[in-house]
Amino acid sequence: MRPAPDRPALCSSFEGVDRKGFPLPHVSPSGLPEEEGVELRRAADGKGDGVLATRPFAAGETVMVGFLVGALTGNDSHATQVGPGRWARHGGLGPKVNHSCDPNCGVRLNDGHAFDFVARRPIATGQELTFDYAMRNFTIDHFPAVCRCGAARCRGSITGWKDLPAVRKADYGELVAPYLRMMDDDIRPADGG
C-alpha cells in the first residue's frame, strides 16, 4: 500500500518488524493492553483524556513500559519521534499521557525502540501522569501555540527540545530521548574560536 502523499501513513507491516526490519517486539493486537499501575481517564469530549496512577510510584521507577505499533513516513500530531527524522506510533496508554511543562515523568528508550515513562519524582495514587513533549520531539509542529498545562513554571507554549531553555534540558537529565542531545551537537556551530 502506498501512503497518501499529503499525510503520513501507518506502515502496513504489523508483524513485529517495520519496513526496515526494525524489531517491534511488544505489539498488542488490540493496541490497548491492560497496564498495571495505571488507568485511562476518559473525558466526554475526548480532550480531557489522561492517564492516572492507580498506585504510588517512587522517583526513578518505571511507570509504564512503552511499545510501538508501527513506523510512520513522517511526523503527525500523534507521532512519536524515535530518531532524527524518524517517527513511530506508540500503542497502549502512552499516547494518552498529557504534556506538562513541569512533568512528573520523563522518558527512556527501551530495547523495543519505544519509550518507557519513568517517574521523575514520587507519584501518588490518583495523580495524573505527565511528561514534557520536548523530551521526545526536537520541534513541535502539530500542537496549538498556547500551553494550558497549568504548571506554575509553564513556559506558555508547547515547544520542542530545540527551544527548551538550557536549565530545563539539564533538569531533565537522562530522562529524555537520546537523539535530542545528538541533534543539538549537529546544529551547534563548528567550534572555531
Which residues are near Zn ion by CB under 5 A? 101, 147, 149, 154
Nearer to Zn ion, 65 or 154 (CB): 154
At its nearest, how many Å lie between Zn ion and the CB of residue 149? 3
Q: By the 8 A CB rule, do 123 and 63 touch? A: yes
Contacts of 56 (CB under 8 A, 6+ apart): 122, 123, 124, 125
At its nearest, how many Å lie between Zn ion and the CB of residue 187? 24
Nearer to Zn ion, 101 or 129 (CB): 101
Q: In angstroms, what CA-CA distances link 191 with 118, 161, 180?
A: 35, 22, 19
**How many CB atoms sit inside 10 A of residue 58's CB?**
10
92: helix, strand or coil: coil
Nearer to Zn ion, 52 or 154 (CB): 154
At its nearest, how many Å lie between Zn ion and the CB of residue 62? 24
Name 108's bridge partners.
116
Dist. CA 52–CA 69, nearest whole Å? 22
Nearer to Zn ion, 14 or 143 (CB): 143
At its nearest, how many Å lie between Zn ion and the CB of residue 148? 7
